[in-house]
Chains A and B, each alone.
Chain A
Amino acid sequence: MTDRLQSHAAFNALQLAAQTRWNEMWEGNRLIVSVGVDSSSEPKGALRVLAACRQALAGTDAIVREVSGNGAMWMEPTVEIKRPGEPPVVYGWIGPDDVPALLAGALQDRAVGVRGADAFGEIPPLGEHPFFKHQQRIVMEDFGVIEPDSIEDAIARGAYNGLIKVLFEMTAEEAIAEVTASGLRGRGGAGFPAGIKWESGRKARARPKFVAVNSHEGEPNVYKDRRIHEGDPHKILEGMLIASIVCGAERAYNYIGGEYPLAIKRFRKAVVDAERLGLIGPNILGSGKDVEIRVRTGGGAYICGEGSALMYSVMGVRGQPRTKPPRSVEEGLWKRPTILNNTETFANVPAIINRGGEWFSQIGTPTSAGTKMMTVQGPLKHVGLVETPMGIPMRILIDEVWGGMRDGHQFRGVQTGGVSAGPLTEEHLDYAVDFDSMTEIGGMLGSGGFVVFDQHVCPVDFARYLTAFNRVESCSKCVPCHRGNPALVEILDRIRLGGGSREDLSLMERTSKHIIDLSLCGLGQVAPMPLLGMMKMYPQDFLDHIDNHLCAAGACPVSATATLATAAD
């Protein structure tokens, strides 16, 4: 279709055409069926639902669209139906066999809500559902609304407006000032202010410079970045382009975990489309700015989420962290200044440029501005991906947004910060979820992954699981982490088998201190944190295992006669 756009005006014309087409589609009198297809709904048969819809509506003028899910994994597969003269209604739990009945209008009991402000008959707006009520979506704004494979949809919804602004209306200083004023902090876990990083990136004198996106997400409980790629890849791409232009980088990398085929496919499609339109490449829209985008895939190593390891992985060697300084913004990819941020950080940038840093800083808390995408797992009713303002109390998240515990499951605790921090218990649930509040009590916002566990999970066994994860995923560069984590697992196994003693507790604390103090990278330094957190929050469970050979959850093979050899590895 369209050739490379050569000017700002040409983009405006394309945008107008896309908006007109978009409005005509939604205001017209054709049936619109949108099936949510992403990595969590696909295993539940979403592709077959899509095929069934296409088959049932073949030969009619109905529009069947492949959108992404809206984060509500608990009701997938979802189908949104817009009939002429009616608002779009989202239906949940639609299997391939339900499609004929759904299209015939028979499954009204599975209507979850109306996408829009007003109720339609008995169907309330989706926003009134507790899962959606507390959410405020910036990154996820268009999840389930646009077709991720369609750049026209994205442009109709305002994609690349921020890029236009930094190309033609703002100076680089102004753009960075907006990012700084917004208070946007890195969404990967450390929470470093993005504006400061960008500023030092812009000031770095070595050439060429690079921008890199950390979409690796190797944590055993987080899938938010994958879902941004699947739901709205153009947001990431636009953020990368903006960062490249304001920092003067000529090439931007997106490093995606190799195990996310759909995310890679949709992002690559976005890159190909944007390049076709001239939004990427030499002389973008005639502005004289050049940016090249490269997609690189990882090989399933948790450590590659660490900044320097990620860069080594991009450069095609083993991903093992190096000492800092120099920081990556001084010496990163190919020894050149590299501005590295998390996917979600970049995806927030277009909105900040469009609506201003001031607007963004009003959302959330004074020290943690904006919204945060959060994922939850465990025996909860409404498991899914949400985006809420920073500072929301954990209790509201668990009890309302995620629907509370399923029947027969009793809340025991919630593990925070992936494998890098400790758990929170019932008494800590009123703490706000932001970068700073939870660290006081040994928790961590991290990348926003929370795991709720119930009475069937033994804290000792859980601590072993988390330590064993770090043992497997240690890159083996530093001895304290490489040898220390196996040692911790061994001691934990001794306790799990009933052969532990009280000295083991202090031994674990000493070993942990060694790992924390002597490891090189951020991941090694926090590897024992989950264990220390578990010991702090559930001391009685550890003592029960040691003194009474008792595992309340029934998960550990505690018995005085067992030997280490029988421990499941």
Chain B
Amino acid sequence: MEDVAPTIAGPDPEPSPERYSDNNLENEIDLEEVRKILSHFHYRDFQEAQELILSALQEINEHFGWVSFDAAEVVAAHFGTTATRVYGLLTFYADFRTEPRGRHFMLLCHGMACYVMGSQRLVENLEDVWGIADGGTTADGELTVQVVNGCLGVCDRAPICKLDADFFGDLTPEKLNVAIRGTIAGRGSWRDAHHPVPAGSNHDR
């Protein structure tokens, strides 16, 4: 993939509206499914219910790519709390999204290791070439980026990004653009990186 597309070209200047609505549909949150996920979260007392809210939100966020206000209401009902409290958690913690993801999802590491190896240029490149900043989605709905302030832990290949399920290391702006174009041309989606929680996990502990 390194050698394809030698020039930098941004996304199609005229994105087709149909595809975006497709993507939205794909990410729509089926509240029945939310209830099914929540049914794994048993609690015996008030304390345990409170402790499990974040884990449940994590799993819903993983499953759908975001958590809607409607879903937050369902979560609140399950744990016997208020939707505003749950929504307050969603906006406080960086891992949660309150808007749908595009078809592809990129975690761009902007930890210190990646910074000293030049990730600032990658962040700028995303804005210049693709028109997206942290948390944003391209106009055609193909790519959502989340800039990670923590660390993806692959520091010897810094700067690094995770595009759907694949990692790309030793990045330059050019290599990043090639990687993004390759991913968009491919058939994958952010769901490829989904980490299902193993069966029999101890949610209820």
Contact = CB atoms under 8 A, between A and B. Distances in A.
A207 interface: no
Interface string B188-205: 000000010010111001
Contacts, number: 166
Contacts of A419: 112
Interface string A536-569: 0000000000000000000100000000000011
A300 B52 contact: no
B58 A318 contact: no
A300 B95 contact: yes
Contact of B92 (A44, A301, A377): A301
Interface string B75-113: 000010000010011001111100000000000001111
A293 B112 contact: no
Interface string A289-308: 00011111111111000000
B94 to A, nearest CB: 4
Nearest to A294: B205
A473 B89 CA distance: 15
B127 A568 contact: yes
Interface of B: 47, 49-55, 57-58, 79, 85, 88-89, 92-96, 110-113, 115-118, 120, 123-124, 127, 133, 148-158, 160, 162, 167, 169, 195, 198, 200-202, 205
Interface in A429-460: 449, 451-454, 456-457
Contacts of B52: 316
Nearest to B193: A261
Q: Which of B58, B94, B195 has the most CB of A within 10 A?
A: B94
A226 interface: yes
A551 to B, nearest CB: 13
Interface string A310-335: 00011111110000000000000010
Contacts of B156: 40, 73-74, 76, 383-384
Interface stretch (A176-184, A264-272, A504-512): A264-272
A131 interface: no
A469 B92 CA distance: 15
B132 to A, nearest CB: 13
Interface residues of A, number: 74
11 contacts: A40-B154, A43-B160, A73-B156, A295-B202, A300-B94, A316-B54, A319-B92, A377-B117, A384-B156, A449-B112, A465-B112
Interface of A: 39-40, 43-44, 73-74, 76, 217-223, 226-227, 257-261, 265, 268-269, 271-272, 275, 292-302, 313-319, 334, 375-379, 383-384, 415, 418-419, 449, 451-454, 456-457, 461-462, 465-466, 469, 472-473, 475, 555, 568-569
A415 B112 contact: yes
A269 B92 CA distance: 29
A422 B96 CA distance: 31
Contact of B58 (A219, A299, A383, A384): A299
Given A258-B58, A315-B50, A299 B205 contact: no
Contacts of B195: 261, 265
B197 to A, nearest CB: 8
Contacts of A465: 112, 115, 120
A112 to B, nearest CB: 15
Contacts of A218: 150
B116 A375 contact: no
Contacts of B158: 377
Nearest to B93: A299
B198 A219 contact: no
A221 B205 contact: no
Q: Which of B47, B51, B89, B151 has the most CB of A within 10 A?
A: B151
A314 B117 contact: no
A297 B202 CA distance: 12
A219 B205 CA distance: 27
B117 A379 contact: yes
Contact of B54 (A217, A296, A452, A469): A296
Contact of B205 (A295, A456, A473, A475): A295
Contacts of A453: 116
Given A314-B51, A377-B158, A378-B113, A39 B153 contact: yes
A220 B149 contact: yes
Contact of B153 (A226, A293, A294, A318): A226
Nearest to B94: A300
A314 B55 CA distance: 10
Contacts of A462: 115-116
B105 to A, nearest CB: 13
Given A39-B153, A40-B155, 13 more contacts: A73-B154, A220-B111, A220-B150, A221-B111, A260-B153, A265-B198, A299-B58, A315-B50, A318-B88, A319-B93, A376-B155, A466-B112, A469-B149
A43 B169 CA distance: 9
A476 B54 CA distance: 20
A296 B51 contact: yes
